[in-house]
Chains A and B, each alone.
Chain A
Amino acid sequence: MAGPARGKVAVDVEECKGCGLCVESCPPKCLELSPELSHYGVHPARYTGHDCTGCGICFYCCPEPGAITVFRLAAPPKAAPVPVPAGGEHAPAL
């Protein structure tokens, strides 16, 4: 894939319980369970770093309120880039 991925994902290892639902659900399969254990003793999910489309599916499949944050590449700035509000706004998924 040429250029940067359209999306990216951050996983909060404090919240992730390593259930694997996001890994299973991600259409381009760009999530995986980390081989290392978190301090809760689970293998937390992590982004492989490739191919995320920012679709948000992993966010909705994850049972934890804040384990996953999904980012999308901002449209190339026409005027000023839209600032990200604290806590995030939810774009419609799918």
Chain B
Amino acid sequence: MAEQDVILEEPKTDKYEVVHSKSHLFYPEYERKSDLKHQTHYCPGCGHGVAHKLIAEALQELKLQDQTILVSPVGCSVFAYYYFDVGNVQVAHGRAPAAATGLKRACPDKIVIAYQGDGDLAAIGTAEIVHAANRGEKISVFFVNNAIYGMTGGQMAPTTLVGQRSTTSPWGRRPVNEGFPLHMAEMLSSLEAPVYIERVALSDNKNIMKARRAVRKALELQRDGAGFTFVEILSPCPTIWGKDPIEARKWVGEKMIPSFPLNVFRDKKIEIPNNNVPPHKTVEEIVEGERKVAREGMVHGRSHHFQHLGIKIAGFGGQGVLLLGQLLAEMGMREGLEVSWLPSYGPEMRSGSAHCHVCLSKDRIGSPVLSRPDVLIAMNEISLRKFASQIAPGGTIIYGRERLPDDLSIPNAQVVCIPASEIADKLGSAKVANVVMMGALLEETECLSSETAMKVLEAKVKNLALLELDRKALDAGRVYIDHTVAIGAVTQADGFAQ
């Protein structure tokens, strides 16, 4: 250490002891640049350095070094991981609270800190911080507000003061054009979940010591399992403000504090009710559970007559169109095929039109979108008219009414008509019309087996009476097709029976 050179008149007889020195939380040397192992990358007089020291000291005093994960942002503090000897994650601009949420939930016994600038937190990351705070994530956020984008060279931030010049507000921020400074501490304190929100300033000796207490308090609260804690630190950026470090620090007190009043906005421990806890399972248990279902549900040894089959199912919302697609995809999966299911429905959940695409394939599926389906299941006339022209040449249309509309001719496709709703209604519920259609599809195209269909239905439908109804509906669909094919009533495009 070079300090010995600068200490004059060291009183030899008296014993001095160290009371303040570099925290163990910092690496002894920084690996950032081989020739600058002793220096941070911050400008002389930058508030980030002081904020770092306060955090490091608090973590050291609370003995939390080995438990801490620091999430650093994009901004001048992007390199925090070079300095803090704790667990470090550096994340995309503005996303620190989201990453911290994941870390804290996965490792609830760790101290998770999101360190963010004002561009990071209050511009691109506004949504992340608001929702993390609103969920009461048990993290500590240190928000270094220097009223500017430092790293990128001084663009206006949401926190830039009215009248403050920046490269993007060269005549000073004008509320009529750029709005007013965003007060994040006040905004977040309108939420119910946060337990501690304070704004402090690195403006002078006294306020720095208050900041020190606030940082420590936030970390203590997190250690004790309290909820969301947030400390906004008004901080000098001498370089971009174009001031020397001493003027810059004064400017924090004289200009920033009047606009961003120092205050404890929230200081109470809030118990968020947690009485609806989902059963906890390890990843292994879940994966093994899925594997077991898959093993038991697999239907082996079935060979399929197609390489790739695209099925489009269309009808009114509420006719079970999307569900039918899901059932087919699951059946394909159980028969060892590659499958995809792509729903598409209007904004109306129950009364608009709905359709979905199902691909069954022996190869990997490139796109789940079908521009030329091999099979169209049209539950109603509107869907038939809308999509019949898309059918691939030689494809099959299964139409859910007794006969085609007189004015409609469908060249190049085999059309099978089945009054599915009427059949279902007779069985006891028009709702199983989709299963009737499934029976018709299986009988007509033999793409999947009806045993697999029953296995999937058994897995999905827990109500035994309903399951029985589904079984009947499936059979009825198959029998109807069997019968109509037998009597030669399958309609050809030219209107003649086969």
Within the assembled complex, what's the spacing in Å between the Cα atoms of A56 and B61? 16
Chain A residues near B2: list those with CB within 8 A: 12-14
Residues of A within 8 A of B244 (CB): 20
**Assembly CA distance A21 to B243 (angstroms):** 13
Q: Digit string of B18-60 for contact with A (CB within 8 Å is 1, else 0)?
A: 1111111010000000000011101111111110111011001
Q: Are A69 and B17 in contact (CB under 8 A)?
A: no
Whether B245 pairs with A69 at a CB distance below 8 angstroms is no
Q: Indicate which residue in A18, A20, A63, A89 contacts B18 across the interface (CB closer than 8 Å).
A: A89
Interface size class of B (residues with CB under 8 A): 35 or more
Decide: B53 and A60 in contact? CB cutoff 8 A: yes
List the one stretch of B3-11, B185-193, B420-428, B469-477 in contact with chain A.
B3-11
Known contacts A18-B44, A74-B17; A65 and B209 CB within 8 A of each other: no
The residue from A64, A71, A81, A84 contacting B49, defined by CB atoms under 8 A apart: A64
B89 within 8 A of A: no
Q: Which residues of B contact A25 (CB under 8 A)?
A: 204-205
The answer to whether A20 and B15 touch across the interface, beta carbons within 8 angstroms, is no
Chain A contacts for B298, CB-based, 8 A: none
What's the nearest-Cβ distance from chain B to residue A79, in Å? 14
Considering only residues 10-40 of chain A, those with a C-beta below 8 Å from chain B are: 10-15, 17-21, 24-25, 27, 34, 40
Q: Are A61 and B50 in contact (CB under 8 A)?
A: yes
- Taking a contact as CB atoms under 8 Å apart, the answer to whether B21 and A93 are in contact is no
Residue A78 is within 8 A (CB to CB) of chain B in the complex:
no
Are A24 and B246 CB-contacts (below 8 A) given A57-B205, A66-B22? yes
Q: Is A49 a contact partner of B19 (Cβ separation < 8 A)?
A: no
- Residues of the A chain whose Cβ atoms lie less than 8 Å from the Cβ of B47: 63
Query: Could you say which of A10, A59, A64 contacts B39, with CB atoms under 8 Å apart?
Result: A64
Interface: B95 (CB within 8 A):
no
Chain B residues whose CB sits within 8 angstroms of the CB of A14 once the complex forms: 2, 38-39
Nearest opposing residue in chain A for B244, CB measure: A20
Q: Is the CB of B7 within 8 A of A10?
A: yes
Interface residue A2 (Cβ < 8 Å from any Cβ of B): no
27 residue pairs from A and B, CB less than 8 Å apart: A4-B11, A10-B3, A12-B3, A14-B39, A19-B245, A21-B246, A25-B204, A40-B39, A48-B8, A54-B19, A60-B53, A62-B50, A63-B46, A63-B47, A64-B49, A65-B22, A65-B23, A69-B21, A69-B22, A70-B18, A70-B20, A72-B16, A77-B15, A87-B21, A87-B22, A90-B20, A91-B19
Q: Which residues of B contact A (CB under 8 A)?
A: 1-11, 13-24, 26, 38-40, 42-50, 52-54, 56-57, 60-61, 83, 204-205, 208-209, 212, 238, 244-246, 249
**Which 3 residue pairs spanning A and B have beta carbons closest together?**
A63-B49, A10-B3, A66-B22
